[in-house]
Each structure stands twice: as C-alpha cells, then as structure tokens.
Amino acid sequence: MGILIVVISIIIGAGFYLNTQQIQPGVNNQTLSQNTSPTVMEQALAPVKEFSMTAKKFEFDPPTITVKQGDKVRLKVKSIDVEHGFSLPDFDIKVNLAPNKEEIIEFTADKKGTFTFFCSVFCGEGHRSMKGSLIVE
C-alpha cells in the first residue's frame, strides 16, 4: 500500500510539473525548441529516394546513383542471372542477392562524397570489375 501511494505521488507531481512547463504567450520559449535537432527533423521529413537496380554479370544497372546528403535512400536490387552481392562499406551495407529475388536496401545518406559499391559474392572472371558509385551531394 505504501509503494502505491509513492507511485501515485510521483505521477501527480510529474503531471503538475509538466503542466507548469507549457508555453506561455509573450514568454521567450526558445529553450523548448533547442531540444529538437534540426538534422533529426529534416531526416524524418525527407522524402525517400527510390531506385531500382539490377545486378548481372558483371555490372550494376544503373552504375551510378546520385542523392543529396540527408536523403533517405531505398534501393530495390535484383540479380537477374546468378548469385551476387551488394556491398557499400561506407554505410555498413552488405547484402547477398539470390537470383530473381528483389532485395530492399534502405539507409540515410548522412555523409557527402563518392562511395563505391561492389559485388561481394564471387560471380566469375569479371567479378572484380563489378562496381558502381553512390554520389552524395
């Protein structure tokens, strides 16, 4: 019974405190907005940039994808011949691509630069040249 009274007292006290912290007209409420990071808000509101990509001996199509920093990126990648891999180490992405099965890869392009993606599953003699670029402006 004593614990219940303590819990109820804490809940009532917290509610009273939150109620007194409401925005008051004519009062500078700048400190309330400082707790929200614009980067997080921008990322939450950013539209998804979606690309369909095929993997085949020994290329990705399209070989280059260009997005803006902060964009949410969705890649729909499908191998159309043998098993391949999609590796984008700068964004900690490594996915195996089974033949004729589409894989969805999602990430936020949170850094600028040109980043190489490549096949991470040996697929034949041209495997080493199976690369592409992600350009983040």
CATH of the domain at 72: 2.60.40.420
Q: Give me the pLDDT at residue 47, please.
A: 79
Q: Give me the pLDDT at residue 60, please.
A: 97
Residue 108 lies in a domain: yes
Contacts of 119 (CB under 8 A, 6+ apart): 55, 58, 60, 84, 85, 86, 87, 127, 130, 131
Query: Under DSSP, is residue 93 helix (H, G, I), strand (E, B) or coil?
Result: strand
pTM: 0.67
Q: What is the pairing mode between strands 48-56 and 72-79?
A: parallel
Is residue 132 a contact partner of residue 117, using CB atoms and an 8 Å limit? yes
Residue 16 lies in a domain: no
Residue 29 lies in a domain: no
Residue 112 lies in a domain: yes
| Total of domains in the chain | 1
Output the tens digit of pLDDT for each of the chain's 137 residues. 666 565 555 555 555 444 544 444 444 444 334 444 445 665 566 679 999 999 999 999 999 999 999 999 999 999 999 999 999 999 999 999 999 999 999 999 999 999 999 999 999 999 999 999 999 99
Residue 33 lies in a domain: no
Residue 4 lies in a domain: no
Is residue 83 a contact partner of residue 96, using CB atoms and an 8 Å limit? yes
Q: Which domain holds residue 131?
A: 47-136
Residue 132 lies in a domain: yes
Bridge partners, residue 133, by sequence: 64, 116
Question: How is residue 106 written in tokens?
Answer: 């999602």
Q: Give me the pLDDT at residue 38, please.
A: 45
Residue 27 lies in a domain: no
Residue 77, Cβ density class (10 Å: 0-12 exposed, 13-18 middle, ≥19 buried):
buried
